[in-house]
Structure 1
Amino acid sequence: MAAASGRVSKKKPLPYFMQRSEDAVLPSFQNRRTLADHVKDNMLCAGRKSYFQRIVYVGRHPKVSAMTIRDRFLKVIKEMQEKTFNEVKLFGLMINFDEYSMHMIESAEETIGEYMRYLADSDLFECSRVVLVYNNINQRFFRKLVWRFADYLNGLPPAVIDAKDPNVVQNTINAFMVKVYTLCKMVRSEELDERSAFKSLYLDENYEEHTPDAVVLEYILGLNCLFNIQEYGQFYGVLPDVTTFRDKVWPIPDDMTPYDVFDSGKYQVNLTFGDV
């Protein structure tokens, strides 16, 4: 009848809240975002092509002048830069004492990984510990590699370490890191101060109360729960074998996507068989 009367029936458009995009109607296993999508988004937000990392490590070396030990570190850094194709340089704060070194370095993951490998192959340290590994930092403390020397470490009053405290390890590490970050902020302010054209290589007395003493450094160097430089150099960039019974599924996974990265939806294949 509608055709005979010359009128054509038209469907009324659905309200906006009832309209669904083409992606929305696809099952969740077809339109979910991959791990690579998240990595690209993070890189875009950070304005970088690679993740930046911050590492804090301490070490004890044969007792020589702080200037001498700096020259040895610079030799390792130069050798690394000559033999690698990574153009991102090292940044951070390198504090050297006559017998100890306390360094905070920042750079791209690949650069830090290469540096730690070269450092592991050197004979700079008698003993060392990696205290902090901070992945995907938002911003750097320093625009370049800054060196500072100090000769008053052994003259500081000994730290009070309560061995009976059940949290003595974590509390000592936390207190150490507070001092490291305080030193970084103070030296950064000094470096950014345009009123002072001369920047002393030596820490003055204002830094003394924020410098960890030998007792704290020796305590940290004795912690077996922390990687030393050699262990970290071997571990960095190596995917550990984490095979468990959960990997023995069918079909065999065809990628290296970690478990529990994506949320399960109604279209997700159930491999738990009754554990839901």
Structure 2
Amino acid sequence: MALPELDTRSVLDTVEENFTRLGLKTYAIRMIYAGEHLVKKDELIHMFSKTVNDVNSSYCEIHVTGLLLVYDSFFVHVIEGSEDTVHRQIRFLFNLEAQMCKEKAKNEAVEAVAQEKTTEGNIEGNAEKECRIFRRLKTIMVYHSMQTLMFSGWRAFTARPPSLVGNLDVYGPIAEHMEQLRIFLDKMSKLCDLAQHEHHLSFEGLSAVDPKIETLPEVTLLDFLLESRYILDLRRTAHMHRRVDDYVFYFENVWPLPTHFTPRFLYKLKIDDSFVEPLPVMPWEKVKKDVDDEGRETERDEDQTDTSDSD
């Protein structure tokens, strides 16, 4: 008869063993977000490449991988990594956007002062107000607790998307939004599979009958998803990361409490009541009490006078 094992294994031991078998250190996620940009393609690719390199060059449990699809005015970014590294890349992207806007504002202010068109302060304010790199950003989908990563590195592609026949109603029911989201995710799944198997993938010079063209989401579809009110904004997603709001209890918003009823004689309580302190006596209450006492004394004097007369 074999002796039982004396080593006790916890759930943490099992999770760590599974991570070791998969070659991971923590849970991995895949995030797909899209947006509309106002810069050139090469400049946008340089921005994303810089943020990804900055994240991977620092300490991270899972390096950031994925692909970036860039159109003339739209882009789609599929990024994989741990939750911390993915949101770190988003924060770096927003910080880089703010930094580029400040540099652009300074350059325009210097040029305006050199040309003596207007004052430096007014130009800086207008330049910072008008400087925008991303017009719209939306978090399309997030996959949690992934076991297998699709990408081994990060790549960027430029393409000319096909045109969509027909119009999409942004104010339609939620079922229509879900259907268009499903179509978009199917296209991105095919694109990721294609990029995974072809190391030298390119979308330049594609014909209308090329099978690769079916993996590219249309501009109309991207514009529909960016205008959808059912999809969360990317800036809101970055704001909510690792942020726990203060919980407001129900009894803090409702009075009287649901389980306690207001006493009927709340303002006429005795002094020895232990569950509530006596209310202070107001000046007008004192005056009213004095008047009542005087009236009672007058009635007593009249009663005594009547009694003596009858005797």
Q: How far does residue 22 in structure 1 lie from its aligned partner after superposition? A: 11
Q: Normalising by the residue count of structure 2, what TM-score does the alignment of the two structures yield? A: 0.58
The DSSP-based 3-state class of the residue aligned with 2:221 is: helix
Measured in 1, the distance between the counterparts of 2:182 and 2:47 equals 29
For each residue in 1:110-142, what CA deviation from the matched residue of structure 2 results, as whole angstroms up to 9, or x when unmatched? 211211222233434110111111011111111
Structure 1 pair 164–130 and aligned structure 2 pair: CA distance change class (3 A): closer
Amino acid at match of 1:53: I
Measured in 2, the distance between the counterparts of 1:159 and 1:212 equals 14
Structure 1 pair 178–160 and aligned structure 2 pair: CA distance change class (3 A): farther
Q: Which residue of 1 aligns with 2:239?
A: 234
Structure 1 pair 133–218 and aligned structure 2 pair: CA distance change class (3 A): same
Q: Which residue of 2 aligns with 1:158?
A: 165
Q: Higher helix share goes to which structure? A: 2
Q: How far does residue 86 in structure 1 lie from its aligned partner after superposition? A: 2.0
Stretches of structure 2 that go unaligned for 5 or more consecutive residues are 98-132, 251-311
Measured in 1, the distance between the counterparts of 2:134 and 2:246 equals 29
- 2:191 and 2:215 in contact (8 A); partners too: yes
Query: Is residue 2:196 matched to residue 1:188?
Result: yes
The DSSP-based 3-state class of the residue aligned with 2:198 is: helix
Q: Which residue of 2 aligns with 1:57?
A: 33
Amino acid at match of 1:70: I
Q: How far does residue 199 in structure 1 lie from its aligned partner after superposition? A: 4.8
Measured in 1, the distance between the counterparts of 2:205 and 2:142 equals 25
Q: How does 1:1-276 map to 2 (within 5 A)?
A: 36=12, 39-40=15-16, 42-44=18-20, 46-64=22-40, 66-81=41-56, 84-86=58-60, 88-123=62-97, 124-150=133-159, 152-153=160-161, 156-158=163-165, 161=168, 167-191=175-199, 199-200=201-202, 202=204, 204-205=206-207, 206=210, 207-241=212-246
Measured in 2, the distance between the counterparts of 1:227 and 1:157 equals 24
What do you get for the CA RMSD once the two structures are aligned?
3.2
Q: Which has the larger radius of gyration?
A: 2
**Greater CA drift, 50-59 or 106-115:** 106-115
The DSSP-based 3-state class of the residue aligned with 2:146 is: coil
Q: Which has the higher contact order (CA 8 A, sep 6+)?
A: 1
Instruction: State the percentage of identical aligned residues.
Output: 20
The DSSP-based 3-state class of the residue aligned with 1:141 is: coil
The DSSP-based 3-state class of the residue aligned with 2:78 is: strand
For each residue in 1:42-85, what CA deviation from the matched residue of structure 2 results, as whole angstroms up to 9, or x when unmatched? 53453321111100011101152x22310122233344455x42
The DSSP-based 3-state class of the residue aligned with 2:134 is: coil
Number of matched pairs: 210
The DSSP-based 3-state class of the residue aligned with 1:103 is: strand
Measured in 2, the distance between the counterparts of 1:231 and 1:68 equals 25
